[in-house]
Structures are given as C-alpha cells and as structure tokens.
Chains A and B, each alone.
Chain A
Amino acid sequence: MEHLYHLSHLFEFLCSVYFGSALLIFIEESIIERIFAPVNEKIADINGVRVLINDYTNMIAEKQYKDVKGRDKFWVDRCHPFYEKREKKWYNRLLRRKIFIEKVKGHGNKSMILKMFFPTFFFTGVYCLTLIGLSAFQYINNNDPVSYKQIDCFFIDLSNGVLLYQLSTLLIIPRLIGRVNYFVIVFCVLITVLIVSGIILLLSYNIDYFDVRWLMTEEHKSAIQMVAVFIAMMPLTYLLLKIAWDISMYVLITGFYNGIRLAFLRSMQGQIRNDIGGVK
C-alpha cells in the first residue's frame, strides 16, 4: 500500500474536512439561518395551492361542466386523476424534508447535523490519518517484506471495518437522533460493527470467497487505491449526494405544484370565459 502515499495530499485534505467538522456546522447554520424561512414560506404557499387546487376541482366536480372539451377535457380526464393519484406521495416527501429542517432548527445549539455525521466523519478521519501514516512507513521501509505484508493485511481489515462502520453510522444514526440517547446509539453501532467485523474475519479464514487478501498483489494495485479513495470519500460523497438529492426533490416537488396549478388555470380559462360571458 505504499503507493497510497502518493495520494497523501488528498487524505490530508479529507482529514481536515472530517476532523474540523466545519462543513457540518456550515450546513447546520445554513439550514437554520438561510434555508428554514424560505422553505417554510414555500411550503405554506404549497399548502395554500393544495387547497386552491381542491377548490378548482370542486368547480369542475359533480359535472358542473357538462360541455368540457379540448384542453379542459384533457385536464378533467387525464391531469386531474394523475394529480389525485400522485399528489399525496409527493406532498409526504416534501413534508419529510420540512419536518427534518424543523427538527434541525428546533435542536438549536444542540448541533443535530454534527451529531448525525460526526461518528462517521471522525472514524473516517482516523482511517485517512492511518493511511497516511502506514503508507509513509511502507514508503520509507520498503526493504522490510515482513512488516510490509503485516501492514497490508491490517489495511485490508481496517478498510473492511471502516466500510461497515460507515454504512451503519450513515444509515442508522441519522434516523435515531432525537429519539434515542446519542451515546447509546453510538455504542450500539460500535457493538454491531464489531460483531459483523468478527463474523467477516471468521468467514475470511474459513471461506475463500470472503478472503480479500488476494487483492494485495501488484496487479490489483490500482483497484486497492480506488477502494481506499472510495472509503475515504464515502461520508463526504454521501453527504453531498444527499444534499443534491434533497435540493432536486424540493425543486421538483415545488415545480410539480406550480405546474399543476398553472395547467389547471390555463385549462379553466375557457370555462371562466363561458361563465362570465354567460351572464352578458
């Protein structure tokens, strides 16, 4: 693994990101100070639009309009059933995001985001630091084949453990924050990871399929490098993808409501004209 030493700058950068936790504090502050108010306002607007769409629907319900045709008929026959079918699901997605940002704001100084991701960040930071240290050691002492191999074995086992820990912390901890005592969650995650790591280690000694030490050959040098970078970047990538996904969903759902409202409004123009023109 001495070739990982060439990537030491990347790992150093990751160490500073993970140990500094500035990114998590920045996200939390942004949610409280910049995102909470506009999102809440937008969701309040969407709540109003939902009621309005309901009122629009009442206007065309019970065959109020027997002569619906053209674009209006398209709405009545196609768009409205589609809206009725999908709307609740989309709204619930939006609501989940709203509840989340309300929780973050409600936690105030208790640093909810920091609690959610700190265990993963800290452990991955330790992983990056270990990689820098061990690869540097191998780089300097590359004429000592015994310690060289031992370090490689340690690196493989460590990577396994870190990956399991990351998966557990990223999937379990964020869901339990605020519901279960934080230290109990971290303790349970640690115990789970130790048990799973133990099982994997046991299996690797008995079943060839689980023994990934065959990766330690020269021909798999690049693959190992990729695996190390992947594990080191995992929490950061997960967080960035999650933010991108949440923003995309938010934009898509708010767009959905605006689109439906405009579609309804456009398709009702003929009816409004007929209604008002009818009294002339």
Chain B
Amino acid sequence: MGVLNDLSDYKKLIATRASRNSTEILANAGPDHAVIAMGYLFEHTNFFVKMVVGSLDEIVCDDDFYNSQLKACLDRGVTFEIIYLNNLNTKSIAYKTLMKHSGQVRIVKGTDKFIEQLSKSGKQQHFSIHDGDKFRFEKDTEKYLAWFSFNNPYYNQELTQVFDSEINRHKTDLKHAAVA
C-alpha cells in the first residue's frame, strides 16, 4: 500500500466516520494519521476543546490541514483550554494561531503531579476532549499511537474528570497564592 494512497484512504474513512458521528473507537498510528484525526475532531467541534499537549509539537501542529481546521474552529467561536506538560513551543504555527484568538484561549502549565499522573506507563500521554462526546487519547507520544472517537461520551467524561481536576488544582493554587 503506497503512502499517498494510505493517507487519502485513511482520510476518507475518518471523514466518513466523522460525518456519521460514529460511536466507533478508531486508532491512529504515526504523525500523518494524527494530523488527520485531530483535523476532523476540530472540524466537528462546536463549543469547546480541552487539550493536554506536550509542547505543541511542530510535526503535527504545523501541518496545513491541522492548522486550517484549528483556525476554522477558532473562527466559529470554539473556546480552548490547554494544559502543556513540557516547554511550550511558541514558534509553532498552531501557537501563533491560538494567540490570534487569545480571548478564547487559556493555556496553563501542567503541575508536576499531573505530569507524573500522565506518565504512569513510563511514557507521557496526551489527550484532547471536544464538546461532550469526542475525544482523542494519545497512548504513545513518540510514535503518535492514539485512540479517538467522534461520539463516545463515556470516555469523554472520564478524560474530562482528569482534565478538570488539574484545572481545579490550578484554581486552588491561585487562591492559596492570593491568601499568602
């Protein structure tokens, strides 16, 4: 199977699953497939995105398809909450796109506890939650191996709990800082 065919076939399949709002849990392996998965998740997001990222990796985040969908998403008024775990790549196109809509975007650094929580398996794991039903969970961030679905409220909720507990931790830290 040629690489080009492989990509266009995968893209067609994901586009079909996305338009059908499929409950199927799909897999993506490799950066090209990660771009396609994220691109279609952005395309079908209408309200909010919660993301846990490493550093806004250039290989995926600077891809044209990824960025065009991210931009379209922001133009629709979708809000973004992003927790980054490593040093944020401020040179990436995605970061610049996000910063153009800074009113809709909130970016915070993950706490050490959170980083530890997401590295239990030995490798750091990232995820994103889109509206109340879509998710993508990156199990291996080096090989870009991830599970994702366009309609799975169950895992979406599970990951939302993880994300929100970290955001609440930030709020508590801020309160403590204010009191001190």
**A residues within 8 Å of B by Cβ?**
44-45, 47-52, 54-56, 58-59, 64, 265, 268-269, 272, 275-280
CA distance A48 to B27 in the complex (A): 12
Indicate whether B10 reaches chain A with its CB closer than 8 angstroms.
yes
A268–B12 CA distance with the chains assembled, in angstroms: 23
Alpha-carbon distance A279/B117, docked complex (angstroms) = 6
Q: Which A residues touch B25, using CB under 8 A?
A: 265, 268-269, 272
**Please, which residues of chain B bring their CB within 8 A of the CB of A52?**
10, 13, 26-27
Contact between A44 and B9 (Cβ–Cβ < 8 Å)?
yes
How far is the CB of A207 from the nearest CB of chain B, in Å? 55
On whether A265 and B24 interact (CB within 8 A), knowing A59-B139, A277-B158, the answer reads yes
**Cβ of A66 to closest chain B Cβ, rounded Å:** 11
Within the complex, the shortest CB–CB distance from A237 to chain B, in Å, comes to 38
Known contacts A52-B26, A58-B29, A59-B145; is-contact A47 B155 (Cβ 8 Å): no
Q: A50-B9, A51-B6, A51-B13 are in contact. Are A275 and B29 (CB under 8 A)?
A: no
Known: A268-B25, A280-B162. A51 touches B117 (CB 8 A): no
Smallest distance from the beta carbon of A73 to chain B beta carbons, Å? 18
Q: A50-B1, A269-B25 are in contact. List 18 more A-B contacts (CB 8 A).
A: A44-B12, A50-B9, A51-B1, A51-B9, A52-B10, A52-B13, A55-B10, A58-B30, A58-B145, A59-B27, A59-B29, A64-B145, A268-B25, A278-B125, A279-B118, A279-B120, A279-B125, A280-B158
Minimum C-beta distance from B1 to chain A (A): 7
Q: Out of A49, A55, A277, A278, name the residue touching B28 (CB < 8 Å).
A: A55
Q: Within the assembled complex, what's the spacing in Å between the Cα atoms of A59 and B140?
A: 9
B48 to chain A, nearest CB (A): 19
What are 12 of the A-B contact pairs (CB < 8 Å)?
A44-B12, A47-B5, A48-B12, A50-B1, A51-B9, A52-B13, A52-B27, A55-B28, A58-B143, A59-B147, A280-B161, A280-B162
Which chain A residue shows the least CB distance to B149? A272
Give the chain B neighbours of A280 by CB distance below 8 A.
158, 161-162
Tell me which residues across on chain A come within 8 A of B33, comparing CB atoms: 51, 55
For the complex of A and B, 8 pairs with smallest distance between CB atoms: A48-B13, A58-B29, A47-B9, A55-B29, A55-B27, A51-B10, A56-B27, A48-B9
A47 to B14, CA, bound (A): 12
B5 touches A64 (CB 8 A): no
**CA A45 to CA B14, docked complex, whole Å:** 10
Q: How far is the CA of A47 from the CA of B12 in the complex (A)?
A: 9
Q: Which B residues lie within 8 Å of A275 (CB)?
A: 125, 137, 139, 147
- Bound: A279/B145 CA distance, A: 16
- Residues of A with C-beta under 8 A to B5: 47
Task: Give the shortest distance, in Å, between A48 (CB) and chain B (any CB).
Answer: 2
Complex Cα distance A272/B158, Å? 12
Q: Which residues of B contact A64 (CB under 8 A)?
A: 139-140, 145
Q: Return the CB mask of B141-156 against A: 1 if under 8 Å, else 0.
A: 0010101000000010
Which residues of A lie under 8 Å from residue B93 when comparing CB positions?
none
CB pair A272 B147 closer than 8 Å:
yes
A270 to chain B, nearest CB (A): 12
Please indicate the chain B residues that have their CB under 8 angstroms from the CB of A276 in the complex: 137, 147, 155, 158-159
Interface of chain B residues 1 through 43 with chain A (CB within 8 A) = 1, 5-6, 9-10, 12-14, 16, 24-30, 33
Q: In the docked arrangement, what's the CA distance between A51 and B16, Å?
A: 14
Residue B121, interface by CB 8 Å? yes
Would B9 and A278 count as touching, CB distance under 8 A?
no
- Chain B: minimal CB distance from A58 (Å): 4
Report the Cα distance A54→B32, complex, angstroms: 14
The answer on a CB contact under 8 Å between A279 and B29 is: no
